Structure 1
Amino acid sequence: MALQKDAGEDSAMRLRRLRYRAWHRGTKEMDLLLGPYADARLATMDGAELDRFETLLEEADTDLLKWLMGQEPTPEDADHDLLADLLRFRTAK
C-alpha cells in the first residue's frame, strides 16, 4: 500500500504524528516497543529513514510482534535493518 503524505505537513508535524502512531498502536506491547524507540530516534532520522519507519508502522501489530519476538520469520520484503535496530535498542536498556 502506498503511503500518502500530506503536502502541507512540516517536519515537526510529521515527527509528532509518527511519535503518536508509535505510542498508540492498539496493543500495549507494541506501544512499549515502538514508542520509546520513536522518542529516542525520530528527531535524528533523515527523510528516507522516516519513510522507512512510517512504512513499518503500516504493519499489523500482531505481525510486528511475532517478527520481533522471533515467533515467525520476518518476510523477505520487510525492513530487516530497521527491525534489527529496534531489537538492538530494546536490548540495550
Structure 2
Amino acid sequence: MLTNSLKKLTYRLHYRGIKELDIFFGRVADQLSELSSDELAILEQLIDESEDKIYRWVLGFEEKPTHYKKIIEKLLT
C-alpha cells in the first residue's frame, strides 16, 4: 500500500507537462519501491525543477547538476 506522500509523488511523476517527461517519469513511478529514502528525497527535489531544465538534463543537452546526476543516471537505466 502506498503512503500518501508516495501517492502524491506518483501523481506528480505522471503529470509533468511535457509529454516526453510524462513518459519518462511514468516509468520512474513504477520503480519507486526500488529507491532508497534518500533517492526519493532527491527525486522530489528534482521534479520541483523547471520542465525545461529537467528535459535538457535527461536528454543530455546540458550537464546534469552534481546533486542530481546519480539519480538521473539511475533512472535512465
TM range (shorter): 0.7 to 0.9
Listed as ranges, the gaps of 5+ residues in structure 2 are none
- Equivalences, count: 76
Larger Rg: 1
Structure 1 residues 58 and 43, CA, compared in 2 at 3 Å: closer, same or farther?
A: same
Gapped runs of 5+ residues in structure 1? 1-10, 89-93
More helix by share: 2
Aligned partners of 1:44, 1:71: CA distance in 2, in Å? Answer: 27
TM-score by length of 1: 0.72
| Aligned-pair Cα RMSD in Å | 1.5
Return the letter of the residue paired with 2:34.
T
1:65 has 2:55 as partner = yes
TM-score (norm 2): 0.85
Query: Quick one: percent identity of the two aligned structures?
Result: 32
Pairing 1:16–2:7 present: yes
Indicate the SS of the match to 1:74.
Answer: coil
